[in-house]
Structure 1
Amino acid sequence: MPSSYPLVSIAHGSAVRVTAVALLAMGLGGPVTAMAQAPGDAESSTTWALGLGVLSAQEPYAGIGRDNTALPLLQFENQYVHLFGPRIEFKLPSLDIGHSQQLNFGIVGQYDGSGYEEGDAPILNAMEKRRSGFWAGGVVEWSTSFIDVSAEWLADVSGNSNGQIASLGLERTWRFGNHVLFTPHVGASWQDEKTVDYYFGVRENEARLDRPAYVGEAGVNIEAGVRGVYMFDRHHSVLVGGGVTSLADEIKDSPLVDRSTVNSVYLGYMYRF
């Protein structure tokens, strides 16, 4: 299942950071676990891992520079639960639909650090604080021998934006021997008008000459990237990757935003117990 985020204190400007590390964490999912497991323990094992990552991520808000951050990483997984930092997935029964095809289902919850506060950037001065939130929903993955397709729906259960997000992703993993995984991926993420307006809108009482009032509308971000994993053995792994996101017009048109794309790159190490 697509899952995963690191255990890390989330502050303003972490929306892109969280997305990027999610991609890093996906590299520790099913394929890596399968490669690291001893014969016969695939169904019954409980795994957990610790590590450290370094991430460089760009934010869409005007005047906010590139953020370079060291991130402690924690992962735990068994046949019922997959935890990676601020995201947890409760696994539901899977459905085999062919010799090499499977439908996987899950209920997910995650903390998202998309909020900001006055002082984070000049363009945000005299803006009311936008709070980060906790999101929950469901995910389904169609796994085949050729490609994996995932769909996810999340709602802001913290009540800050009261928004919804739906995403669709495609990826394929190539294995090279017993040590290397390489995964290109593409995806689209739809954010409803409440989400876009909350994080990128400008209220009438916040408007000024260089920051006119703006009401956000629903939009779709397009994402693409790659990630790679090198496993020295069943315990030690190095992860590397990056991605770029093309922002929806409804986000780019916000007076708070000064770019049309954002990007991130990362490098990490994990020790699997």
Structure 2
Amino acid sequence: MIRSLMTAAAAYCLLTAGASAQTPEEIERYKKMTIFQIGLAVAVNDEPYVNFNDGTPNILAVPFYVYNKNNLTLAGPNISYRFWKPGGVQLSAEAKYRFQNYDEDDSPFLEGMGDRNGTFEVGMKAQKRVDRLRLQANGFVDVAGQHDGYELQALATLEVGNGRMISFRPLMGIAYQSENVLQYYYGVTAEEARTGLAVGDGTFMDRPEYSAGPGFTPFAGAEFRIRLSRRLALSGQLKNNFLGDEIVDSPIVESGNRASAFVGLSYGLSGPGIIKGKWL
């Protein structure tokens, strides 16, 4: 699924946009610069649904761009505007696209479920740096009428590289998703319930009605960025979501993990350290 693979591409855009700024002083200096980057990422996405894509992760090459000027950042369909910084806490208003979806033909076990779509969400993000530790909290609500729910998230990343030529950041956090979110992506209505569905290898399973409640999803992973030259950078992220009981208990789910990975090469058209007339 192209749309679900774009999850990693969107995350990559945001990582590339923020990876250069490592200290509050650098952040303030970079706000006055125009940062414009383009690139290509290879994204891998592994969904937890029964016999999804015959058990093979989706792999796709995805183009992207990042534009940052003053307090505004554009990264693909995502928009962020930093508007306040009380007590060292940076507050942003954001709009983003949720790249989570499936089509019923992604698995024979999803036949008759209809398609689940991604959606546009708006919300707020608060972020604070404490030395090499970055703490973040955010919340988003659906404004496009797909899941009609909301998600709250708290996470922390730790900078263990030098922050300039090489950056490596382990991350961990937890997300709370409302009942509407989990019901939309993992629930089964009475009309969608089936008996004796083929799941491959001559196996048949029932798909009973299932109502998902709200739930928590812990996650962990790592980000990295290696600056190859003034303009070229190699970046990536590995992330695994440890799905809670409200998701795992769904009859259309067969795995307790939802994993994604990507690696991408970006080229800076403008930004810190870039000299006009020098292509690398």
Structure 2 length normalisation: TM-score? 0.84
Give the structure 2 partner of residue 135 of structure 1: 121
Amino acid at match of 1:86: P
Amino acid at match of 1:91: R
Moved more, 160-169 or 226-235: 226-235
Give the structure 2 partner of residue 201 of structure 1: 187
Instruction: Name the one with the larger helix percent.
Output: 2
1:244 aligns with 2:235: no
1:59 aligns with 2:55: no
Contact 1:18–1:112, Cα closer than 8 Å, also in 2: no
Give the structure 1 partner of residue 273 of structure 2: none
Moved more, 129-138 or 17-26: 17-26
For residues 65 and 181 of structure 2, the distance between their equivalents in structure 1, rounded to whole angstroms, comes to 29
After TM superposition, the structure 1 = structure 2 runs for residues 168-207 of structure 1, keeping only pairs within 5 Å, are 168-176=154-162, 178-207=164-193
Question: Relative to 1, partners in 2 of residues 1:142 and 1:71: Cα closer, same or farther, differing over 3 Å?
Answer: same
**Greater C-alpha radius of gyration:** 2
Moved more, 19-28 or 241-250: 19-28
- Equivalent of 1:46, from 28, 31, 34? 34
Contact 2:129–2:135, Cα closer than 8 Å, also in 1: yes
Q: Secondary structure at the match of 1:119?
A: helix
- Equivalent of 2:82, from 72, 91, 97? 91
For residues 177 and 47 of structure 1, the distance between their equivalents in structure 2, rounded to whole angstroms, comes to 17
After TM superposition, the structure 1 = structure 2 runs for residues 228-239 of structure 1, keeping only pairs within 5 Å, are 228-239=224-235
Q: What is the CA deviation profile of residues 177-200 of structure 1, one whole-angstrom value per residue up to 9, with x for unaligned ones? A: 741011110011111001100111
Structure 2: which 5+ residue stretches go unaligned?
A: 196-205, 270-280
Q: Deviation at 1:228?
A: 1.0
Structure 1: which 5+ residue stretches go unaligned?
A: 1-8
For residues 115 and 264 of structure 1, the distance between their equivalents in structure 2, rounded to whole angstroms, comes to 14
1:253 aligns with 2:244: no
Give the structure 2 partner of residue 74 of structure 1: 65
Question: Relative to 1, partners in 2 of residues 1:31 and 1:160: Cα closer, same or farther, differing over 3 Å?
Answer: closer
Q: Deviation at 1:109?
A: 0.8
Identity of aligned residues (%): 26
Amino acid at match of 2:57: R
Q: Deviation at 1:159?
A: 1.3
Q: Deviation at 1:265?
A: 2.1
- Equivalent of 2:258, from 255, 262, 266? 262
Q: What is the CA deviation profile of residues 63-88 of structure 1, one whole-angstrom value per residue up to 9, with x for unaligned ones? A: 11310010101001112211111211
Give the structure 2 partner of residue 3 of structure 1: none
Q: What RMSD, in angstroms, separates the aligned Cα atoms of the two structures?
A: 2.2
Q: Deviation at 1:41?
A: 5.1
For residues 139 and 164 of structure 2, the distance between their equivalents in structure 1, rounded to whole angstroms, comes to 34
Q: Secondary structure at the match of 1:160?
A: coil
For residues 41 and 255 of structure 1, the distance between their equivalents in structure 2, rounded to whole angstroms, comes to 52
Amino acid at match of 1:184: P
For residues 31 and 50 of structure 1, the distance between their equivalents in structure 2, rounded to whole angstroms, comes to 14
Give the structure 1 partner of residue 217 of structure 2: 221
Q: Secondary structure at the match of 2:20?
A: helix
Contact 1:34–1:42, Cα closer than 8 Å, also in 2: no
For residues 142 and 163 of structure 2, the distance between their equivalents in structure 1, rounded to whole angstroms, comes to 42
Question: Relative to 1, partners in 2 of residues 1:262 and 1:117: Cα closer, same or farther, differing over 3 Å?
Answer: closer
- What is the aligned residue count? 254
- Equivalent of 2:13, from 10, 25, 50? 25
For residues 174 and 9 of structure 2, the distance between their equivalents in structure 1, rounded to whole angstroms, comes to 17
For residues 178 and 133 of structure 2, the distance between their equivalents in structure 1, rounded to whole angstroms, comes to 28
Amino acid at match of 2:104: E
Question: Relative to 1, partners in 2 of residues 1:142 and 1:177: Cα closer, same or farther, differing over 3 Å?
Answer: closer
Structure 1 length normalisation: TM-score? 0.86
